[in-house]
Amino acid sequence: MQDQSQPVFRALADPTRRAIITMLSEGPRATGEIASEFDMSRPAVAKHLTILREGGVISVKPRGRERINHLNPQALKRAAMWLNYFDEFWDDRLSNLKKLVEE
């Protein structure tokens, strides 16, 4: 079980980064467009984007002089799966059903 999930959980640890994730769930955004939504400098936001990229949470496609940031839900799934392991402790009913469905 050893820590493949560390970069994802690290990415999730900061509220600004979680806000960026939420923002990108509505659709891809250019870097500057994201930065303009926050009360901090563009390089600060750029650093957060780097950490999100390192965690595999977002991917970037250059388009002209812009860089378009896309959410990469696969990476979030890794963290969700880790947490869902504990499902059984808070919701046996739903967890059992899920297992059934997955079979």
Q: How far is the CB of 60 from DNA (least distance, A)?
A: 6
Q: What is the rounded CA–CA span in Å between residue 31 and residue 6?
A: 24
Site string for a second copy, 38-77 (x = CB under 8 A): ---------------------------------x-xx-xx
Would you count residue 58 as binding DNA (CB under 7 A)? no
Which span sits near a second copy by CB under 8 A: 7-15, 34-42, 45-53, 61-69? 7-15
Residue keyed to tokens 């970037």? 60
Cβ neighbours for 76, distance < 8 A, ≥ 6 positions apart: 8, 21, 57
CB 42 within 8 A of CB 33: no
Would you count residue 82 as binding a second copy (CB under 8 A)? yes
